[in-house]
Amino acid sequence: MNAPVQLRLVYHRTKILCTVGPAVASPEKLYQLLTAGADGFRLNFSHGSEESHAAYVRWIREAEQRVGRFVPIMVDLPGPKLRVATLPQGALELRAGEEVVLADVSQGEGITPGRGELSVIPVEYPTIARDLKVGDSILLDDGKLRLKVTGKRGKGVRAIVVAGGILQSRKGINVPGVQISLPSITERDRRGIEFAARYACDYVAVSFVRSAEDVRAVRRLLQETGSLAWVIAKIEKPEALADIERILQAADGIMIARGDLGVEIPAVQVPLVQKQLIQLANQRAKLVITATQMLESMVQNPMPTRAEASDVANAVLDGTDVVMLSSETSVGAYPVEAVMYMRSICQEAERALTVHPEVVHTLVGKGERPERLTTDAIAAAAAAIAAEGHVQGIVSLTLSGETVRLISKRRPPVPILAVTQNPMVARNVGLLWGTTGMLLERVGSTDETIEEVKQLLRQQGYFMPGERIVITIGRPLVARSRTNMLSIETI
């Protein structure tokens, strides 16, 4: 990648992931987001066509070339999301105390009510009559409207409106405490996985994860397509919280999807759950993304509320790798300003971060194979050297990004450069805290490669002559060895 040196010196600790949509539907807008402080982009497959997402991928890669740094793309699968179907008039008023019928649009039966019949809400939920029983709650539009099931009606259910309002088409449905009998991977998910492989996207986020097997199933499908995309488990169901240890083991990272999570469990529990999930992910050396409504007011307003600024700052202080923008950048009126505010909030919070006093603590479990324990020890040593102020940067030659992830989780106070021959790995690491990906075209002997890396760093302006760095590397390189060596070098 060719870019001016001053753009290459951008160093972000906490990363910002932006959702793309109509508000940023051009290469120029995406470039503006990157220069404002964005680090990666999310394609929300719950909305838009494959053609529109393919256009976004092309535009992101154009902006990536222009900005001169690797930019990861995440495909966010829709999962078995329950939604209101298209309403005849686009919206329907629900009044407290009235009874309605919810019927799946695929069944056809009972969708059009006759004279004197109850209002019908068409939904995308094939097993609604099987799954729901009398007394179950139905929450619409993130819980803004609430219904309670009173009985069955053919292949649908009857329900009384507890809290009314205006219901619009395509709004989400949540049924807390109900075991949904839909497959974890839908046909739309399969198309999304094929898209991710075809367009070399770097991450795939799995929605409504219920168990570690959901994550493994997506990884198997990715492997069948030849994709090495990292798999992110979205935590938004109580079942996922119950299986979180196994999910963390199966996934490359998690996304704390606070929107649906805050409907599925009491909203008052979400802040504590968020803190616990961030802590668990950091202890397991897994990527963690904090998402949903972080700067929601900026969908319509040019600046965030104080409460939103506090929310973002607390996620940073708790140790999140990534903060995410959804509607703020996809359909909001101020997408660039939202990124700028989020970046400034992150930077201000990061000033309060201190080096972890136990920077050398073990992240890899004691039962792991010796090679991985060695890699973890090297990562701890590199972070400890940086914490003592002896070097100005950490450079890791990596095949998969694992060593870099182990270094990043220790939060060293210097930039982390992940040097790789694989462009996808260079993009994958772009969401890791404090990490930048860099491509190395040729690998020779260990000594030759170290000298070539130092020359590349000098040429691209990452460090000044005379500054010192710590390099982690696997020796011998020709055998593609796991990281087993650490060297302190002078630029």
pLDDT in tens, 256-291: 999 999 999 999 999 999 999 999 999 999 999 999
255 has a pLDDT exceeding 80: yes
The predicted-structure confidence for 352-361, as pLDDT tens digits, reads as follows 876 554 555 6
**Coil/strand/helix, residue 34:** helix
**Coil/strand/helix, residue 449:** helix
Predicted pLDDT at 114: 36
Q: How far is CA 114 from CA 118, 154, 158, 308, in A?
A: 8, 15, 16, 47
At 231, the amino acid letter reads V
Specify which residues 206 forms β-bridges with: 233
Predicted pLDDT at 109: 47
Q: Right CATH number for 370-490 from 3.40.1380.20, 3.90.1720.10, 3.40.47.10, 3.30.70.270?
A: 3.40.1380.20
Tokens of 241: 């919280």
Q: How far is CA 360 from CA 115, 127, 380, 400, 409, in A?
A: 72, 51, 5, 22, 11
In angstroms, the CA 140 to CA 172 distance is 6
Per the listing, tokens 């040429």 go with 459
110 has a pLDDT exceeding 60: no
Predicted pLDDT at 474: 85
339 has a pLDDT exceeding 80: yes
The predicted-structure confidence for 198-226, as pLDDT tens digits, reads as follows 999 999 999 999 999 999 999 999 999 99
Residue 254 backbone zone (phi > 0: left; psi -120 to 50: alpha; other: beta) = beta
Average pLDDT over residues 321-345: 98
| CATH of segment(s) 82-174 | 2.40.33.10
Between 117 and 168, name the one with better pLDDT: 168
Predicted pLDDT at 3: 43
Predicted pLDDT at 154: 84
Average pLDDT over residues 247-255: 98
Average pLDDT over residues 430-455: 91
Q: Where are the domains of the chain?
A: 5-79+183-350, 82-174, 370-490
The half-sphere exposure of 264 on its side-chain side, counting CA atoms within 13 A, is 24
Predicted pLDDT at 77: 97
Residues 6+ apart with CB under 8 A from 248: 233, 254, 280, 281, 284, 286
Q: How many helices (H) and strands (E) does the chain have?
A: 17, 22
Q: Right CATH number for 5-79+183-350 from 1.10.3720.10, 3.40.50.1440, 2.60.40.10, 3.20.20.60?
A: 3.20.20.60
**pLDDT class for 1, splitting at 50, 70, 90?**
low
Per the listing, tokens 């990124």 go with 339
- Name the H helices within 165-322: 187-198, 212-225, 238-242, 244-250, 258-264, 270-283, 306-318
**pLDDT class for 81, splitting at 50, 70, 90?**
confident
Spell 123-158 as b/e; 16+ CB within 10 A means b: bbbbebbebbeeebbbbbbebebbbebeebbebbbb
Q: How far apart are the first and last CA of the chain?
A: 21
The predicted-structure confidence for 319-328, as pLDDT tens digits, reads as follows 999 999 999 9
Kindly compute the dihedral angle of the four CA atoms of residues 486, 488, 490, 491, in this order, to the nearest 10 degrees: 30
Which pTM value belongs to this model? 0.91
70 has a pLDDT exceeding 80: yes
Average pLDDT over residues 300-327: 97
112 has a pLDDT exceeding 80: no
**pLDDT class for 479, splitting at 50, 70, 90?**
low
**pLDDT class for 445, splitting at 50, 70, 90?**
confident
Predicted pLDDT at 359: 56
Q: Evaluate the omega torsion of the peptide bond into residue 476 and state whether it is cis, within 30 degrees of 0.
A: yes
**pLDDT class for 8, splitting at 50, 70, 90?**
very low
Q: What rounded mean pLDDT belongs to the chain?
A: 91
Residue 77 near residue 205, CB atoms below 8 Å: yes
100 has a pLDDT exceeding 90: yes
107 has a pLDDT exceeding 70: no
Between 341 and 388, name the one with better pLDDT: 341
In angstroms, the CA 113 to CA 108 distance is 11
The predicted-structure confidence for 124-155, as pLDDT tens digits, reads as follows 999 999 999 999 999 999 899 999 999 998 88
Predicted pLDDT at 270: 96
Predicted pLDDT at 355: 56
